[in-house]
Amino acid sequence: MPRYRLDLEYDGGPYKGFQAQGGLPTVQASIERAVKAFSGESLRLQAAGRTDTGVHALQQVIHVDLGRAWPPDVVRNALNAHLAPEPIAVTAASVAPDGFHARFSATGRRYLYRILNRPAPPSLEKGRAWHVKKTLDVAAMNEAAARLVGHHDFTTFRDADCQAKSPMKTLDLAGVFREGDEVRLAFAARSFLHRQVRSMTGSLVEVGAGRWRADDLAAALEARDRTACGPVAPAEGLYLAGVAY
């Protein structure tokens, strides 16, 4: 039974997250319906990670086991045909190497958070970036973000419903930069806690807006207390940017 690795991109706005949830619209449910329409097979796909309601993906990775060997391009093109007009695209398909698992073989995940930082509201980027009117101090945010890098107890930035066994995570990258009216936050780690990126982003915006200093962010991290977290950034600006294997 051949296993296929599929790379995806999607707009998370119309969906109640990635993971299948009964009759609710989810990315997983749409892809599994497309697989059945293409191959006639009912299956449960495996993904590198779950994204929440409204969160987007530039590169999500899944795998599916099909009963028949198809050329990868046929799998990609057939799935895209059956996914139309939904905002989900299979950007690449390949036969997975032996032992490959979309989730357990992953060695790292990257997230991008986009902030439209200008007085005027978004038009083209509505639903795809967080609109923050107040000019953000990117240098201060970047200095504060550096305090998050490393192996820490991230309880402060962990959602109350997080099911991870431990709050300990190693953050390999936390950087903030500006491109015109857009402020971008980049994060990389082997894995993340539930809503960790949105929680860190919201607190970093407090720094950028001048309400917190870098020391305040470090103190919030050290508190290991969810109540010490700043406001949680909205889902619409968050993107799963890539998965490493």
Diameter of the chain by CA atoms?
58
Residue 225: DSSP 8-state: -
Residue 221: DSSP 8-state: H
Question: Is 235 within 8 Å of 55 (Cβ atoms)?
Answer: yes
CA dist., res. 49 & res. 46, Å (int): 9
Of 52, 65, 137, 172, which one is the catalytic site residue? 52
Crossing angle of the two packed helices 196-208 and 138-145, in degrees rounded to 10: 130
Task: Confirm whether 161 is a catalytic residue.
Answer: no
Please name every residue paired with 46 in a beta bridge, in sequence order, or none if there are none.
63
Question: Is 48 within 8 Å of 94 (Cβ atoms)?
Answer: no
Which residue type occupies 45? L
- What are the backbone dihedrals phi and psi of residue 205, each rounded to the nearest 5 degrees, phi first? -65, -35
Active site residues: 52
